[in-house]
A and B are shown apart, each in its own frame.
Chain A
Amino acid sequence: MLQVKNLDFNYPNRGFVLRSVDLELKPGNIYGLFGKNGEGKSTLIKIMAGLLFPKSGICNLNHTQTKKRSPKTLQEIFLVPENFELPALPISTFEKINSSFYPNFSNEQFYGLLEEFQLHPSNKISTLSFGQKKKVLIAFGIATNTKILLMDEPTNGLDIPSKSQFRKVMASAVDKGQCIVVSTHQVRDLHSLINHVIILDNSKVIFDHPLEIISKNLWFGRATQDMGEVIYSEGPFGGRSILTRKNLDETEVDLELLFNGVLQETQNINQAIKK
């Protein structure tokens, strides 16, 4: 559905932020996009949304480049950015003005989500807190029912009960064949939702695998002696480790551990998965 091929990007007078990035995103998945600060996560998301143009290479949504910003493409992409400005209008007016750009927009869904987030359509957006504004945008983004939903740090600014609501809402959103990309540092907030992990480091995609394949090939946990080949370990004496799984029982993928492991032992981990 969304195809990134051999893509390079740099901001003026600075080194490359993205270098030969290849990705192929498919419907029905929630992709987790991870990387240290300043590794180009937000840049990549903006390129996908057609807000920035690649220096070379392509980024296509269903065979049309997103940088062309054709209405047909843009009506199938929605971006919930990390920082944003919203107009000083009541929520319902905001919806009326903006929803017409998205042919699959569902009023019912939007107002249902607002209610779940305890917001009222007559609330003026400028009087809301940051977290509440974010909820308006998240609810709107989900209700657009675009093929691609991009979210940059969506749980930043959400209070604890809202995070749980957010997960519920997201869980119900994917099975409609949407493709969702979430960039985040808050691994814990979203780890049960993500089913594909992409890791950016040194301007490159260094890891790109579905969770199912990861848990088939790697084992996560506190290893005891003679359990097998340790690929990565945090701290001595039975710290959390990543092992090649072989005959061990399947464990849940520990995303935080995986992220640290991939940064340190990129090749070994990728090799263990390809086996």
Chain B
Amino acid sequence: MDFDNSKPIYLQIVDFFYENILVKQWKEGARIPSVREVAMMVEVNPNTAIRAFNHLQDLEVIYNKRGIGYFVAEDGYAKVLDIKRKEFIEQNLPDVFKKMGLLGIGLEELKNAYNQHKNEKK
């Protein structure tokens, strides 16, 4: 796995989990790889992987069945969606707004760009 230097590795592993859940690679209620498997997959110290698992468990995105392994929570998808939306609105958007202010781009212009992007995709 290619790590970005600015973010702690355990949070990057968390993002990797989110992505797998959002694209439904890991379905709700399904078993996910073990701490050791994840550590090997992304080539990190198992202690770092454990931190990612604990973080996700605290957020109730995954849960642990003793002796069996970790599973995506029944409402895991909705939880991740919620977390990622919040992150977008609280972290990504302010940056965009700041740049818009700096460059004098108004809402109207943004709307046009958005619609154009949408049409192109179709």
CA A168 to CA B49, docked complex, whole Å: 13
- Inter-chain contacts of A115 with B (CB < 8 A): none
Q: Does B116 contact A (CB under 8 A)?
A: no
Q: Does A174 contact B (CB under 8 A)?
A: yes
Binds B, one of A44-52, A99-107, A151-159, A246-254: A246-254
Q: Are A167 and B43 in contact (CB under 8 A)?
A: yes
CB < 8 Å neighbour of B3 from A28, A171, A192, A250? A192
Q: Are B47 and A172 in contact (CB under 8 A)?
A: no
Distance from B47 Cβ to chain A, minimum over Cβ atoms (Å): 5
Q: Does B32 contact A (CB under 8 A)?
A: no
User: How many inter-chain contacts with C-beta < 8 Å in the A-B complex?
Assistant: 57
Task: For A193, give the chain B residue with the smallest CB separation.
Answer: B45
* In the complex with contacts A167-B43, A192-B9, A252-B9, A175-B3 CB distance below 8 A: no
Distance from B9 Cβ to chain A, minimum over Cβ atoms (Å): 6
CB < 8 Å neighbour of B40 from A28, A168, A215, A220? A168
Residue interface mask A237-275, B partner, CB < 8 A = 1: 000000000000011101000000000000000000000
Q: How many residues of B contact A (CB 8 A)?
A: 18
CB < 8 Å neighbour of A174 from B7, B9, B46? B46
Q: Does A164 contact B (CB under 8 A)?
A: yes
Q: Does B119 contact A (CB under 8 A)?
A: no
Q: Does B35 contact A (CB under 8 A)?
A: yes
B1-46 contacts to A, CB under 8 A, are 3, 5-9, 11, 35-36, 39-40, 42-46
Q: Is the interface of B mostly helix, strand, loop or mixed?
A: helix
Q: Does B48 contact A (CB under 8 A)?
A: yes
Task: For B91, give the chain A residue with the smallest CB separation.
Answer: A249
Distance from A272 Cβ to chain B, minimum over Cβ atoms (Å): 18
- Inter-chain contacts of B39 with A (CB < 8 A): 171-172, 175
Distance from A3 Cβ to chain B, minimum over Cβ atoms (Å): 21
CB < 8 Å neighbour of A30 from B6, B7, B9, B45? B45
CA A195 to CA B43, docked complex, whole Å: 13
Q: How many residues of A contact B (CB 8 A)?
A: 22
Q: Are B48 and A195 in contact (CB under 8 A)?
A: yes
Q: Are B5 and A164 in contact (CB under 8 A)?
A: no
Distance from A255 Cβ to chain B, minimum over Cβ atoms (Å): 10
Q: Does A121 contact B (CB under 8 A)?
A: no
Q: Are B40 and A175 in contact (CB under 8 A)?
A: no
- Inter-chain contacts of A81 with B (CB < 8 A): none
- Inter-chain contacts of A194 with B (CB < 8 A): 45
Task: For A180, give the chain B residue with the smallest CB separation.
Answer: B45
- Inter-chain contacts of B46 with A (CB < 8 A): 171-172, 174-175
Q: Are B7 and A192 in contact (CB under 8 A)?
A: no
Task: For B4, give the chain A residue with the smallest CB separation.
Answer: A252
- Inter-chain contacts of A195 with B (CB < 8 A): 45, 47-48
Q: Does A90 contact B (CB under 8 A)?
A: no
Q: Are B5 and A254 in contact (CB under 8 A)?
A: yes
Residue interface mask A162-173, B partner, CB < 8 A = 1: 001001100110
Q: Does A131 contact B (CB under 8 A)?
A: no
Q: Are A252 and B45 in contact (CB under 8 A)?
A: no
Partner-B contacts on A (CB < 8 A): 28-30, 164, 167-168, 171-172, 174-175, 192-195, 212, 215, 220-221, 250-252, 254
30 contacts between A and B (CB under 8 A): A28-B47, A29-B47, A171-B36, A171-B39, A171-B44, A171-B45, A171-B46, A172-B36, A172-B40, A174-B46, A174-B47, A192-B9, A192-B42, A192-B44, A192-B48, A193-B43, A193-B44, A193-B45, A195-B47, A195-B48, A212-B47, A220-B5, A221-B5, A250-B11, A251-B7, A251-B8, A252-B3, A252-B5, A252-B6, A254-B5
